[in-house]
Structures are given as C-alpha cells and as structure tokens.
Structure 1
C-alpha cells in the first residue's frame, strides 16, 4: 500500500534528538558511540517499519545502542512515537536508502544486524535488491565486527532458502534456522514485529535464522 505524503512528519522528526537526517548520520560515521555517550555495542535494524520491534528491543537490551533505519518519514514518525512511548533513550533513527548504509558506519562499528520481513523481490532481475543478497552482505561487512550476527526473519520461503546461499557465499556461518519460529526453541527469546503478529494470527509461519560472520 502506497503511503500518502504527510508533510508534518519531517518537522516532528527533526524536533527530536532521536532522529538523524542522512547528512547528520553521515557525519556520525565512526562516531556513533559519541552520539550515545557510551561504548556499548551498537545493534542495527534495517527496515524498522513502525518501530514496535525497535522499542521492545531497546528495552530488552538497555546496555546496547540501537540504530534503526527506514526510508519514509511517514513510517519513521511512527517509530519515533513508539520509542518515545517506551521511554527508550538508547535508540537513534535515520531516514535513508539502505543501499547507502556503508556511508554512515565505520569499520567494526556494528555488533548485530536485524532484518525483519524485508521485500522478497521474487523476480530474478530484482533479487540483487534483497537485503540478504551477497551485494548487501558485502556492504555490511565494511562496518560489522568479526563474529557479528545477522538475525533474519521472513515469511517468504524462496527468499529464506536462497538466503542460505547468500550468507555462505559471503563468509557467514548459519548458526541456527527454523521454518516455524513461534513453535521453535527460540520462541521465548523472540521479539515480534507488527507484521509478524498479523502473520501469526493468520496461521502464516515465520522463518528465522542467525548467521555469524566468520
């Protein structure tokens, strides 16, 4: 569904120190810990949607810093509201195209990546746009630490299974995978997204894996 432009969204975002414009995020490359005023590990969420997962993750890991990325102001303003409602102070959000993600982080700056229910791009000519494709994994390797885990969820079987090869080709080891997350041993650890809750209500199984950079 195409979102209508909400002209009030950007001013609301810019009024909060939690939000960083693309230019501000680029200026923080290599200095995100200064922004958070601590040396805690930084977790990155790619495609944060409305931010329910973001807020819950920030509360679950108060000694970690969270950077959440999405493209549309209309989405990020909902993320901001969820973060504010949760009173989570260990989060920053930025509006940008994920294709340029390596422009805002420096070597060894990120300790974990979350990718939740990204666009499966099923057509062959579009598969390079997948956030788990080797093209993107190569970019992530520019700024993640050795041993960094990528936590990936999907409702799309083809994307999920083809991602196994993407990770292995890119020097990642798949530590864990399940085709039925909510009935797995990882279920109690899992933090659900808004999409995930809807899928569960409809009986759609969520797939999940953890891949670690060797």
Structure 2
C-alpha cells in the first residue's frame, strides 16, 4: 500500500479508537467503554474480519493489531463508518504483545492469512512459531482458542507441526473451508482473493 505521510497524524486524531503510542499498555480494558471478554486479531488486513465479528458479537470487545500505519488507516475508517464501540486498534509489532498485554487477560486469538515468511531463515517471524505460541499461551485464559486461517500450504503444515510440538490440542481442522463452508466463517479480503484464484483455505482451531 502506498505510503501516506499523514498516516500517524490521522491515527492520532482518532486516539479514541487507535492506540499509536502504547497509551493503554497493560490496561486494555480501560480502552473500552464496557468491560467484556477481549479477543485479539494479530494482523488485521483491511479490517473486514474484525469489524464483521464486532457487528455480529456486540457482547465481545475486539482488538485489531497491525504494524502497518497505512493499512491501519483503512481499518480505522471502517470502525468509524460502522460506529463500532467494541473495536479498538493497536499500531503494534506482534513481537511486543507481552509488553502490551497482561498475562491471562485475553479470551481468544485470531491469526488470518499471516505472512508465510517462506524462507527457512525467517521461520521465527511466522506468527505460529513457538516464540509467538509462548506469548499467546501467556496472554490467553486457560482453555482459550487460537484460530488460524491461511491459503499457504507450507505455512499450514508448519503451523500444524509447531502447534503439535508445543502440546496444543486441535479442536478443529479444516483442509478446505470453502468446500463445505461453516456458517460462522467470515471471509477476509485476502480469503476472497485467494479463493477466487483457486487456492484452498486451511483452518485450525487449537487450545493450550
């Protein structure tokens, strides 16, 4: 996405929705008007997934996490347009999740169409690497789910092995989501694009 020099100024002008400067670090519940369960999406894309979830589940607070300020503009615009009070956004590197959140305060983690980082030397950057799984386990309440979707077969296989080695319990595995699509599935922008190209969509739901 083209760089927007005014991106940070725009996001900071919407600081009731977007935390650019870690203002709510270690106190995420104060960012919302009501105390509800907190679900996080690590990597928001253009925001269709998290905003649709929020519309469908007004009794849950959603936190969309994105590192790209230009992408975050699009997500912020959707939240504003829809008038959602149960979505808050963090301009944050996923490596800093444990610096931002407290242990055991998150009820669910979503990972949708994450960068596959296909080169072996970049494996630690994959959001299902054991280092990230360690963070999720600390953040999540006991028995809570990590939900993961991808069209990338290599990342799917890596994630299966990584989660299994970490001792996670697989609650659901779907090797072709769109073959018999569950009614609860929410298609992201990337999901629509990859599906139209004939890619299979893989889905994992796993708990610690």
Structure 2 regions of 5+ residues with no counterpart?
A: none
After superposition, the CA RMSD in angstroms is 1.3
How many aligned residue pairs are there? Answer: 207
Q: Which residue of 2 aligns with 1:8?
A: 6
The answer on whether the counterparts of 1:105 and 1:143 sit within 8 Å (CA) in structure 2 is yes
Q: Take 2:100 and 2:168, find their aligned partners in 1: how far apart are those partners? A: 22
Aligned-residue offset at 1:192: 0.7
Q: Take 2:49 and 2:82, find their aligned partners in 1: how far apart are those partners? A: 11
Q: Does 1:198 align with 2:193?
A: yes
Secondary structure of residue in 1 paired with 2:178 = helix
Q: Deviations over 1:21-68 (max 9, x none)?
A: 142142xx1x22232133311000000011111110111111000011
Q: Does 1:147 align with 2:143?
A: yes
Q: Take 1:182 and 1:138, find their aligned partners in 2: how far apart are those partners? A: 30
TM-score by length of 1: 0.92
Q: Take 1:147 and 1:22, find their aligned partners in 2: how far apart are those partners? A: 31
Q: Take 2:17 and 2:151, find their aligned partners in 1: how far apart are those partners? A: 30
Q: Map of 1:8-87 to 2, 5 A cutoff?
A: 8-16=6-14, 17-26=16-25, 29=26, 31-87=27-83
The answer on whether the counterparts of 2:40 and 2:62 sit within 8 Å (CA) in structure 1 is yes
Secondary structure of residue in 1 paired with 2:41 = strand
The answer on whether the counterparts of 1:54 and 1:83 sit within 8 Å (CA) in structure 2 is no
Which of 152, 157, 165 is the matching residue for 2:161? Answer: 165
Q: Take 1:152 and 1:4, find their aligned partners in 2: how far apart are those partners? A: 28
Q: Which residue of 1 aligns with 2:203?
A: 208
Structure 1 regions of 5+ residues with no counterpart?
A: none
Q: Take 1:46 and 1:34, find their aligned partners in 2: how far apart are those partners? A: 20
